[in-house]
Structure 1
Amino acid sequence: MKTQLLGITLALSLLFSNSDTLATQHSTSMAEQLYTTQDAATPELAKAGSLTVGVTTITIPGPSLLKSKEERTLTLEVWYPGKHTVGAINATYTDVTRTKKSFTLQGSAFRDASPQDGDVSHPLIILSHGYTGYRSIMFYLGEHLASHGYVVAAIDHTDSTNSEVDFENGSGAGFQSTLLHRSRDQQATLDFFKKNGAPWNIDSKRAGVIGYSMGGYGALNTVGACHSFSEEVASAFGFKANEQKDILRHLNGCNAGLTNVDESWKAMVALAPWGGESGVISQLDKIRVPSLFIAGEQDDVSGYENGVKKLFLETGTKHKYLLVYQNARHNIAPHPAPKAAYENELGLGHYFEPAWNTETLNRINKHMILAFLNYHVKELSSFEEFLPKRENITQTKQQNGQLNQPWPGFKDRFGTGVLFFRGAK
C-alpha cells in the first residue's frame, strides 16, 4: 500500500511540477500560424538569420504629460540573440483586435531563452505601433532582426492599444496621449536600455527607431523634426482650451523633448507615417539621421503625395530613401490578419490590403529594412548594394529580348508593383 501511495504521490508531483510546461505546450498547439514557407518567393535578406532568437516581456517607466494620468508604464516585447535549449518551446503572442476579439499567434522565437554569451554587442532597434495597435503587431520584424544580430524592443504605447481604446464606437480615446507621448515613449525606451542593456549585450550607442503610422509620426520627431500644432488644430484633436498653454508647450517640441537629438540614433524607418497631410510636422530639414520611408501609393489615412512623399522630400538627411507599394493603402506594416479579425469589417480593416498579400509585404519589409539597418546602423558597406539603383522593381525586356536584372536579392521575375527612390538635399 505504501508503495502504491508513493507512486501516486510521485505522479502527482511530476504532474504539478510540469503544469506550466503542459499549459504552454497546449497554448502553443492552439496558436495560429500566419506564415507559409515560400523559399522561392523570399528575397535574400528576408530569410531568417543564423542566430537563435529569444523573447521576453518587461515593463518600464514611461513619460506622463497628461494631468489626468500621473503614472504611465510601458510594456515591451524584447527580441534578442539567444541560446537554444533542448526542449525549448516557441513563443506565442496574444492580443485582441480592434473589436476586442482575442487571438494567439505562433512565433518562432523562444520565450525567455538565455541571451547569447560572448563579447559581441548588438545594436538596439525600437519598434513603435500606430493608433491603435499593440507591441506584437510587427512581431515578424522583431524576430527577423534579432536573428540577424539586433536587440529589438517593441512598445505597447499605453493609452493607445487595441485593448484600451473603444475603436468600434469611435471614441477617439487615447489619441491626445498618442500625440503627446509617442516620440517620448521611443526616447524613454532607448534611455532605459542605456542603463539596463547589459543582460542582452546591447550597444545603445547604435540605435534605430522603426515607427508605423503614429509610430512614424513619433519617430520623425525623435530624430530631429518638430511638431507644430496651432490652438485650432489642438482643439480639433480634443485638447481643452483651458489646458492648451501647457499642452502646446509639450506638443510642439522637437527631438522627443530633448534640446538636441540623442546621438545614439543612427537610423529611422517610417512606415506610412502620419502627419504630412495635417501639416503638424515641421522642420524636417533638421533631420540628419539616415531615413527610410515606406508607403502605400493609395494610402487613405496618412496620404501619399501630400503625406508620406511630402515628408520624404522635405527630410534633410542626405541618406534618405522611399519605398513605395503601388496600389497599396495604409496597412503595409502589420502581420497578416488573424482569423478573429475576419468576423467584421472593422477588425479586418486593421490588416487588410485590397491589392496585396500581407505576407508578401512583410517579406519585402524584412528584406529592405535589414539592408538599410545593416548599412547605416552596423555600417556594413556591402549591404548598400541591396538598396536598389533602379526605381522600378519590374523587369522589362531589353533589345536582346532578355529581361533586365531583378533588384538585388530578389528572384528573377518575382518582383513587380514596387518603386524605390533615393534622395539627397
Structure 2
Amino acid sequence: MIRIALSAALLAAAATPLAAQNRIDGQAPNAPALSPYGSYAVGVRQFDLVNKNQINIVAIDPSAEEPAELPRYDRPLTVEMWYPAATDSIGATSFNTYLRDGVTEVTLEGRAIRNAAPPPETNPFPLVLMSHGYPGNRFLMSHLAENLASKGYVVASIDHTDSTYRDQGAFASTLVNRPLDQLFVLDEMARLNADASSGVAGLIDTDNTGLIGYSMGGYGAVVTAGGGLSENAVGFGPQDTLAIHREGSETHDALPDPRIKTAVAIGPWGMNVGLWDAEGLAGIEIPMLFIAGSDDETSGYENGIRKIWEGATSVDRSLLTFEGGGHNTVAPIPAPIESYAAGVSGHYTDPVWDTVFMNNVGQHFVTAWMDIELKGNSAMQRYLDLQANGSDGVWSVDESGAFTDDHTYWFGFPEGAAEGLRYEVLSAEVAPVPLPASVWLLGVSVAGLGALRSRRNRKA
C-alpha cells in the first residue's frame, strides 16, 4: 500500500517533536536497509568560490541585436561540503538556511559538525557533486549529502548563482551554467585537495566522482554526462549562448569529464520541452540512475524522465519510480515547520508519499549505486537485482524467520515497504562490429560469428 502523506494543515497542527526540530536525519520505521547513517562522524564546512570571466547571462538583453562582445563577470558559487570527520568531533549540528520564499530564515538540525577535523591518516574519499533545482539552494538535499558523508564520501553541494531562493534570476543562466558550474566545482575540489592550507587536503578523490542533480540539477547532470542539447533547445538561451551545449558541437564534445564516473538524476527537467533528441541522449557516456515520481507534472514522466532513461542507449541505466509521486520525489528535505505558515510547504512535500520515507529510499538506492560505481563494491549489487515491481515480490520466511527459497521480496526492504515502487534496468545497446569484406566473401555471417559487439567507448 502506498504511504499517504498527512495534509499540510494536519501536519502543521500535529507536528511531532522530530518535525518541530526541523531535523533532516529522520529514519522511517519501514526504511530500507541502506538508508541508516554509516560509521563515520560527519563534518561540514563552507567554501566561497569564484569562477572568473564567465558570460553574464542576466546582463544580456535578449531582444537586442547580437553584441560584438558578450558581458562577462566573475561568477560567485558558494559550496557546502559534507565529509567524513574524526570520531572524537564535537560541536554544533544545526545550520541556518532560507525557505522557498527567499525571505524566511530557518534553523535545520542534522548530525554534521561545523568545521570538524577530517579523520587522521585516511585514504581520500570519492567525491559527489550535488546540484539543486530552480530555485533551490545547497541545503535542499542536505539529508542525502550528510547521509552519504557518513558512509565515506565527500559531498560538495553547490549554490548555483541566479538559481537560488535568494537570487532567482534569468532562467537561461541556469541552462547555460549548470554544467559549467559542476565542472568548475570539480576542478576547485581538486585544487582544495592539493592545498595544504584548505583544511581538507588529501581528503578528496576527485578522480572518482559522482554527480547528483535534482530537477534543473538533473538537467545539468544529463548535459555533463554527455547528453548534448537539440537544435531546438539552443533557442532557450539569448544570443546563441546555449549553443555551447549543442549535441555534436566542439564545446559539448569536450564537456564530459573522465573524472565523473556516474550520475544520479532526480526528476530531471527538459525532455518534456524538447531539450534533447535521440542523438543527443545517445551521447550520454556514464552509467546513470534516474529517480522519478510517475505523476511529475513539472518534468513530465512518460514524455520526460522516462524518455531520457530510455534514450540513454549507450550506457547501462536504471529508473526508480514512485507510483503517484510528484516532482518533489526523494530530493527535498522534510518541510521545515515554518514553511507551513510561510505558505511554501508544497515546495518540499508530496501529496501521496511521506517525505522521510522517500528520503530513506533515495538514501538506500543512491548508497548502493555509488558504492558500486565509485567504490567497486560488488556486494551492493544484490540491493539492485530486483523484480521490476516491488508489489510483485513474495515475502516468505520459515518458523525461525529465515527467508525461504520462494522469497523474492526486494532485498533490504521490510515486508510491505516496496509497495508502490518500481525499479527498472536497461543495458547499453551495442552495435555489431564492422566486418572486413573478406569475411563476407568467405560466407560467414555476423550471426555465425556470435556476439561480436562493442560498447560505446567511454573517455579514458
TM-score, normalised relative to structure 1: 0.83
Match of 2:172 in 1: 176
Match 2:157 to one of 126, 149, 154: 154
Contact 1:65 1:180 in 2 (8 A): no
Corresponding letter in the other structure for 2:44: V
Match of 2:208 in 1: 206
Alpha-carbon distance between aligned partners in 1 of 2:337 and 2:134, rounded to the nearest angstrom: 21
Match of 2:132 in 1: 129
SS at match of 1:114: coil
Q: Does 1:189 align with 2:185?
A: yes
Alpha-carbon distance between aligned partners in 2 of 1:47 and 1:226, rounded to the nearest angstrom: 36
Bigger mean CA deviation after superposition, 247-256 or 137-146: 247-256
Alpha-carbon distance between aligned partners in 2 of 1:133 and 1:399, rounded to the nearest angstrom: 43
Alpha-carbon distance between aligned partners in 2 of 1:213 and 1:221, rounded to the nearest angstrom: 13
Match of 2:229 in 1: 227
Deviation at 1:158, TM superposition (A): 0.6
Match 1:390 to one of 387, 392, 398: 387
Match of 2:120 in 1: 117
Deviation at 1:351, TM superposition (A): 1.0
Aligned length: 379
Contact 1:337 1:348 in 2 (8 A): yes
Alpha-carbon distance between aligned partners in 2 of 1:256 and 1:98, rounded to the nearest angstrom: 36
Alignment of 1:96-107 (within 5 A): 96-98=99-101, 100-107=103-110
Gaps of 5+ in 2: 1-19, 60-71, 195-200, 399-403, 430-460
Contact 1:92 1:105 in 2 (8 A): yes
Deviation at 1:396, TM superposition (A): 5.2
Deviation at 1:262, TM superposition (A): 1.0
Alpha-carbon distance between aligned partners in 1 of 2:188 and 2:51, rounded to the nearest angstrom: 10
Deviations 1:116-165 (A, max 9, x none): 11141100000000100000100011111111110000000011000112
Match 1:217 to one of 188, 209, 219: 219
Deviation at 1:226, TM superposition (A): 0.7
SS at match of 1:149: coil
SS at match of 1:45: coil
SS at match of 1:406: coil
Contact 1:33 1:106 in 2 (8 A): yes
Corresponding letter in the other structure for 1:351: Y
Q: Does 1:265 align with 2:260?
A: yes
Corresponding letter in the other structure for 2:224: T
Alpha-carbon distance between aligned partners in 1 of 2:319 and 2:423, rounded to the nearest angstrom: 6
Q: Which has the higher contact order (CA 8 A, sep 6+)?
A: 2
Contact 1:222 1:256 in 2 (8 A): no
Q: Does 1:53 align with 2:42?
A: yes
> In proportion to residue count, which structure has more helix?
1
Deviation at 1:398, TM superposition (A): 8.7
Q: Does 1:94 align with 2:104?
A: no
Match of 1:343 in 2: 341
RMSD between aligned alpha carbons? 2.5
Alpha-carbon distance between aligned partners in 2 of 1:70 and 1:86, rounded to the nearest angstrom: 39
Match of 1:357 in 2: 354
Deviation at 1:266, TM superposition (A): 0.8
Structure 1 residues 196 and 216: alpha-carbon distance in aligned structure 2, compared to 1, 3 A threshold:
same
Deviations 1:62-82 (A, max 9, x none): 362226251211100001111
Alpha-carbon distance between aligned partners in 1 of 2:221 and 2:250, rounded to the nearest angstrom: 9
Contact 1:97 1:340 in 2 (8 A): no
Structure 1 residues 255 and 373: alpha-carbon distance in aligned structure 2, compared to 1, 3 A threshold:
farther
Alpha-carbon distance between aligned partners in 1 of 2:41 and 2:397, rounded to the nearest angstrom: 46
Alignment of 1:6-45 (within 5 A): 32-38=22-28, 40-45=29-34
TM-score, normalised relative to structure 2: 0.77
Instruction: Give percent identity, aligned residues only.
Output: 34
Deviation at 1:343, TM superposition (A): 2.4
Match of 1:274 in 2: 269
Structure 1 residues 258 and 288: alpha-carbon distance in aligned structure 2, compared to 1, 3 A threshold:
closer
Q: Does 1:66 align with 2:56?
A: yes
SS at match of 2:82: strand
Corresponding letter in the other structure for 1:157: H
Alpha-carbon distance between aligned partners in 2 of 1:286 and 1:258, rounded to the nearest angstrom: 9
Gaps of 5+ in 1: 1-29, 166-172
Deviation at 1:390, TM superposition (A): 0.3
